[in-house]
Structure 1
Amino acid sequence: MQPIKSLNILGEKVDILVDGAMTNGASVTVIQTTRPGGGPPPHSHTREDETFTVLEGDFEILSDGQWIKAPVGEVFFAPRGGVHTFRNAGTTTGRILVFISPAGMEGFFEKISGLTTADLPKILEAFAEYGLSLHLPQA
């Protein structure tokens, strides 16, 4: 399936395959192409549940404070409110499918597309607007 839109999210490609307009607001489906060591920071959602399926590569999922190996084809569910993330723990680029319900996160992805870590205030503003919270490890 060809993406309807491809975005650059902090140096990683996010292909939007299905957006909220196509599902009447029910869901969004994306594929994120992730470099070794890459993936989003630990975060939580107030509005969305996410389901992850590893398509290729060596991923780990953070769930309930523990990193879990995520083999290709394995499905992981992250309910809203829970701190979660994924990371490419391998040495090659990987791809992970993310199903998000309900729709709306595509707006967040579009808002932060092309931004860099130098744009942190804008990124944090988008997090707040879309009901997301960062959960970074304490130094």
Structure 2
Amino acid sequence: MTNENMTIPPDDLQRNLTVARPNDDQNLPHIGLAGDTYTILLTGENTAGQYCLIDMLVSPGGGPPPHRHAFEEMFTILDGEIEVTFRGEQSVLRAGETANIPADAPHSFRNKTERPARLLCMCSPAGQEAYFMAVGIPLSSRITPCPKLDEAAQAALKAKAEALAAQYRTEFLHP
């Protein structure tokens, strides 16, 4: 299709500008998950289902276990660094760098440093934010640490995450 044959649909006046202020807006959902704090900046409801945007504060040693899902996922590192494992190969991402994880590809990430890392995570299409809200622990702010859980609470959270994973197009990978 050439540009001259493309038409842009009219403006959808039912949709409005959404502004997310993660440091100031206490109405944003702040979720404790896997030892980290995730703030849901934009939901599928805000973007007509196109994507969601999540502000992640990843503690030292934090990050999800190996998994894959049926949607694209992009990370932009705002501060610190994380190690991404993609199809078994590691790459270190530092502030200012971006990585895209294709749908269905096995991956994980980990903060292997001694200080928190902050990143933006965009998932397309939207839906991952609903999974995080269904599984995670509500927190009061973007910088509230995820509570330390005892073994029983960790096991219960892991079981809940695994039980809901398929509903949200996610699969955990076990060695």
Asked if these proteins are the same fold (TM beyond 0.5), I'd say yes
Gaps of at least 5 residues in structure 1 are none
- The corresponding residue for 2:116 is 93
What letter matches 1:121 in structure 2?
A
Q: Following the alignment from structure 2 to structure 1, what is the Cα–Cα distance between the partners of residues 31 and 161?
A: 15
Deviation at 1:93, TM superposition (A): 0.9
Identical-residue share of aligned pairs (%)? 32
Gaps of at least 5 residues in structure 2 are 1-19, 23-27, 138-148
- Structure 1 length-normalised TM: 0.91
Deviation at 1:104, TM superposition (A): 0.9
Larger radius of gyration: 2
Query: Which residue of 29, 45, 59 maps to 1:5?
Result: 29
What letter matches 1:2 in structure 2?
R
Deviating beyond 3 angstroms after TM superposition, the runs of 4 or more aligned structure 1 residues are none
Query: 4-13 vs 18-27, which deviates more?
Result: 4-13
RMSD between aligned residues: 1.5
Query: 77-86 vs 107-116, which deviates more?
Result: 107-116
- The corresponding residue for 2:99 is 76
Deviation at 1:121, TM superposition (A): 2.3
Deviation at 1:75, TM superposition (A): 0.8
SS in 2 for 1:23: coil
Higher strand share: 1
* Mapping for residues 88-127 of structure 1, pairs under 5 Å: 88-114=111-137, 116-119=153-156, 120-127=158-165
Q: Which has the higher contact order (CA 8 A, sep 6+)?
A: 1
SS in 1 for 2:46: helix
- The corresponding residue for 2:54 is 30
- The corresponding residue for 2:76 is 53
Q: Following the alignment from structure 2 to structure 1, what is the Cα–Cα distance between the partners of residues 135 and 85?
A: 23
* Mapping for residues 57-68 of structure 1, pairs under 5 Å: 57-68=80-91
Aligned residues: 136
Q: Following the alignment from structure 1 to structure 2, what is the Cα–Cα distance between the partners of residues 113 and 64?
A: 26
What letter matches 1:19 in structure 2?
T
